[in-house]
Amino acid sequence: MHGAAADPCWSGDDRLVFRLADQLHDTSRVDDALWGELCAHLEEDALVELIMVAGLYHAVSYLVNATGVRNETFAPGFP
């Protein structure tokens, strides 16, 4: 793993979004403490959208990995 949500390069809102993504990935839930912090900084409709995007990313990842879809030759890859 490279970096973390608490790294000083991120803004407060960025840190919250990273914590949300990490918690959803680890537990498939958002605890009350984090939800309260998120609601203090973001609109509820934005929070629902972030959760849906995270879920969609998982669904696409499952499909791509299960079917063996290869990266396009022109697309940049991760190191």
Q: Indicate whether 62 belongs to any domain.
A: yes
Q: Indicate whether 74 belongs to any domain.
A: no
Instruction: List pLDDT tens digits, range 2-12.
Output: 678 888 888 88
77 versus 66: the higher-pLDDT residue is 66
Q: Indicate whether 1 belongs to any domain.
A: no
Model confidence band, residue 76 (pLDDT cutoffs 50, 70, 90): confident
Q: Indicate whether 25 belongs to any domain.
A: yes
Asked if pLDDT for residue 1 goes beyond 60, the answer is no
- Residue 43: domain span: 12-67
Q: Indicate whether 35 belongs to any domain.
A: yes
Question: Residue 38 and residue 48: Cα distance in Å, rounded?
Answer: 11
pTM listed for this prediction = 0.77
